[in-house]
Chain A
Amino acid sequence: MAVLVAKSVTKRFGGLEALSNITLDVKEKSIHSIIGPNGAGKTTFFNCVTGFYTPEEGEIRLNGRNITGLSPDRVTRMGIARTYQNIRLFKNMTTVENILVGMHPHLKSGVIGAILHDPRTTREESDAVEEAKRLLSFVGLKGKGDMLAMNLSYGDQRRLEIARAIASKPTLLLLDEPTAGMNPSETQEMMIFIRHLRDEIGITILLIEHQMRVVMGISELITVLDFGVQIAEGTPAEIQGNPRVIEAYLGRGAASGLGQKTAVAAAAA
Chain B
Amino acid sequence: MQTQAPSIWKHSVRVGLLGGAVAILLSLVGMVAAFGERYIVSGLFTMGQVILLAPILVMVYSGIRRIAPQPANRVGAAHKVILSGLLSGLVGSALLALLLIGKFVDLRVMFVNASPKLFGILTFNQELTLGLLILLGTGMLAGGLTGGVFLLPQRLRSIFLQGLLWVILVGLLRDLIVTVTFRWGPLAAVIKQFFAISGLKPLGAVIIFVLIGALRYWRSNQPMQKRESLLTNGKSYVRWLTLAGIALVLILLPPVLGVFFSEILSNVGMYILMGIGLNIVVGFAGLLDLGYVAFFAIGAYTVGVLTSPELSANPLTYWQALPFAMIISLLAGIILGLPVLRMRGDYLAIATLGFGEIVRLLALSDWLRPWLGGTQGIQLIAQPRIGPLLLNTQQEMYYLFLIGIGIVAFVAWRLKDSRLGRTWMALREDEDVAKAMGINHVSAKLMAFATGAVFSGLAGTIFAAKLTSVYPHSMNFMVSINVLCLIIIGGMGSIPGVFIGALVLIGAPELLREFAEFRYLVYGALLVAMMLIRPEGLWPEARRKLELHEEEVAAGKMAVAGIEVTSKNPGE
Bound pair (A, B): yes
Interface residues of A (CB under 8 A from B): 50, 52, 71-73, 76-77, 81-82, 84, 88, 90-94, 96-97, 100-102, 104-105, 107, 109-111, 113-117, 121, 125, 129, 143-148, 150-151, 164, 168
What are 13 A-B pairs at a CB distance below 8 A? A52-B432, A72-B435, A73-B437, A93-B426, A94-B543, A100-B419, A101-B437, A115-B411, A125-B418, A144-B555, A145-B552, A145-B555, A147-B559
| Chain B neighbourhood of A146, CB < 8 A | 545-546, 548, 552, 555-556, 559
Q: Nearest chain A CB to B165's CB is how many angstroms away?
A: 34
**A164, B426: Cα distance in complex, Å:** 12
- Are A90 and B435 also in contact (CB < 8 A) when A101-B423, A146-B555 are? no
Q: Is the CB of A114 within 8 A of B414?
A: yes
Task: Return the 7 tightest CB-CB contacts between A and B, nearest first.
Answer: A114-B418, A146-B556, A105-B438, A76-B438, A90-B429, A72-B435, A147-B559
Q: Is the CB of A145 within 8 A of B429?
A: no
Chain B 414-444, CB-CB to A under 8 Å as 1, else 0, gives 1100111111011001101111111111000
Q: Is the CB of B548 within 8 A of A104?
A: no
Does B558 reach chain A (CB closer than 8 Å)?
yes
**A110, B418: Cα distance in complex, Å:** 9
Q: Is the CB of B419 within 8 A of A104?
A: yes
| Chain A neighbourhood of B418, CB < 8 A | 109, 111, 113-115, 121, 125
**A100, B437: Cα distance in complex, Å:** 10
Report the count of interface residues on B (CB-CB < 8 A): 39
- Are A93 and B425 also in contact (CB < 8 A) when A71-B435, A111-B447 are? yes
Q: Is the CB of A101 within 8 A of B434?
A: yes
**A52, B435: Cα distance in complex, Å:** 9
Among A76, A81, A105, A147, the residue within 8 A (CB) of B562 is A147
Does B350 reach chain A (CB closer than 8 Å)?
no
Among B420, B429, B548, B549, the residue within 8 A (CB) of A93 is B429
Does B551 reach chain A (CB closer than 8 Å)?
yes
| Chain A neighbourhood of B562, CB < 8 A | 147-148, 150-151
- Residue from B422, B423, B429, B436 with most neighbouring chain A CB atoms (10 Å): B436
| Chain A neighbourhood of B193, CB < 8 A | none
Among A72, A96, A104, the residue within 8 A (CB) of B423 is A104
Q: Interface SS of chain B: helix, strand, loop or mixed?
A: helix
**A168, B410: Cα distance in complex, Å:** 30
Does B393 reach chain A (CB closer than 8 Å)?
no
Q: Nearest chain A CB to B95's CB is how many angstroms away?
A: 45
| Chain B neighbourhood of A148, CB < 8 A | 543, 559, 562-563
Q: Nearest chain B CB to A223's CB is how many angstroms away?
A: 22
- Are A73 and B430 also in contact (CB < 8 A) when A109-B418, A129-B546 are? no
Among A73, A77, A145, A168, the residue within 8 A (CB) of B441 is A73
**A52, B433: Cα distance in complex, Å:** 10
Does B232 reach chain A (CB closer than 8 Å)?
no
Closest chain A residue to B440, Cβ basis: A73
- Are A147 and B558 also in contact (CB < 8 A) when A96-B546, A114-B415 are? yes
| Chain B neighbourhood of A121, CB < 8 A | 418
Does B566 reach chain A (CB closer than 8 Å)?
yes
Q: Is the CB of B422 within 8 A of A101?
A: yes
**A268, B436: Cα distance in complex, Å:** 54
Among B546, B548, B558, the residue within 8 A (CB) of A151 is B558
Q: Is the CB of A76 within 8 A of B436?
A: yes
Q: Is the CB of A102 within 8 A of B437?
A: yes
**A110, B432: Cα distance in complex, Å:** 22
Q: Is the CB of A111 within 8 A of B415?
A: yes
| Chain A neighbourhood of B421, CB < 8 A | 114
| Chain A neighbourhood of B441, CB < 8 A | 73
**A244, B425: Cα distance in complex, Å:** 47
Q: Is the CB of A104 within 8 A of B439?
A: yes
Among B420, B422, B439, B558, the residue within 8 A (CB) of A73 is B439
| Chain A neighbourhood of B549, CB < 8 A | 143
Q: Nearest chain B CB to A176's CB is how many angstroms away?
A: 12
Known: A94-B543, A148-B563. 6 other contacts (CB 8 A): A50-B436, A77-B438, A90-B425, A117-B414, A143-B551, A168-B438
**A92, B560: Cα distance in complex, Å:** 11
| Chain B neighbourhood of A72, CB < 8 A | 432, 435-436
Q: Is the CB of A73 within 8 A of B546?
A: no
Among B425, B558, B563, the residue within 8 A (CB) of A97 is B425
- Are A115 and B429 also in contact (CB < 8 A) when A73-B438, A96-B546, A97-B422 are? no
| Chain B neighbourhood of A76, CB < 8 A | 435-438
Closest chain B residue to A164, Cβ basis: B437
| Chain B neighbourhood of A100, CB < 8 A | 419, 422
| Chain B neighbourhood of A116, CB < 8 A | 414
Q: Is the CB of A114 within 8 A of B555?
A: no
- Are A114 and B546 also in contact (CB < 8 A) when A52-B432, A101-B437, A164-B437 are? no
**A88, B441: Cα distance in complex, Å:** 17
Closest chain B residue to A93, Cβ basis: B425
Closest chain B residue to A105, Cβ basis: B438
| Chain A neighbourhood of B432, CB < 8 A | 52, 72, 88
- Residue from B439, B447, B559 with most neighbouring chain A CB atoms (10 Å): B559
- Are A94 and B559 also in contact (CB < 8 A) when A109-B419, A148-B543 are? yes
- Are A101 and B426 also in contact (CB < 8 A) when A94-B543, A111-B415, A150-B566 are? yes
| Chain A neighbourhood of B419, CB < 8 A | 100, 104, 107, 109, 114, 125
Closest chain A residue to B558, Cβ basis: A147
- Considering only residues 140-176 of chain B, those with a C-beta below 8 Å from chain A are none
Among A92, A107, A114, the residue within 8 A (CB) of B429 is A92
| Chain B neighbourhood of A105, CB < 8 A | 437-438
Q: Nearest chain B CB to A149's CB is how many angstroms away?
A: 9
Q: Nearest chain A CB to B18's CB is how many angstroms away?
A: 36
- Residue from B438, B555, B559 with most neighbouring chain A CB atoms (10 Å): B438
**A94, B429: Cα distance in complex, Å:** 12
**A110, B435: Cα distance in complex, Å:** 18
Closest chain A residue to B545, Cβ basis: A146
| Chain B neighbourhood of A93, CB < 8 A | 422, 425-426, 429
Q: Nearest chain A CB to B542's CB is how many angstroms away?
A: 12
| Chain B neighbourhood of A81, CB < 8 A | 436
**A152, B281: Cα distance in complex, Å:** 29
**A143, B436: Cα distance in complex, Å:** 26
Q: Nearest chain A CB to B562's CB is how many angstroms away?
A: 4
**A52, B436: Cα distance in complex, Å:** 9
Closest chain B residue to A113, Cβ basis: B418
- Residue from A82, A111, A164 with most neighbouring chain B CB atoms (10 Å): A111
**A116, B437: Cα distance in complex, Å:** 26
Q: Nearest chain B CB to A168's CB is how many angstroms away?
A: 6
| Chain B neighbourhood of A90, CB < 8 A | 425-426, 429-430, 433-434
**A121, B432: Cα distance in complex, Å:** 27
Q: Nearest chain A CB to B283's CB is how many angstroms away?
A: 12
Closest chain B residue to A101, Cβ basis: B426
**A116, B418: Cα distance in complex, Å:** 11
Q: Is the CB of B438 within 8 A of A143?
A: no
Q: Nearest chain A CB to B334's CB is how many angstroms away?
A: 14
**A107, B437: Cα distance in complex, Å:** 12
**A104, B422: Cα distance in complex, Å:** 9
- Considering only residues 242-296 of chain B, those with a C-beta below 8 Å from chain A are none
Q: Nearest chain B CB to A206's CB is how many angstroms away?
A: 15
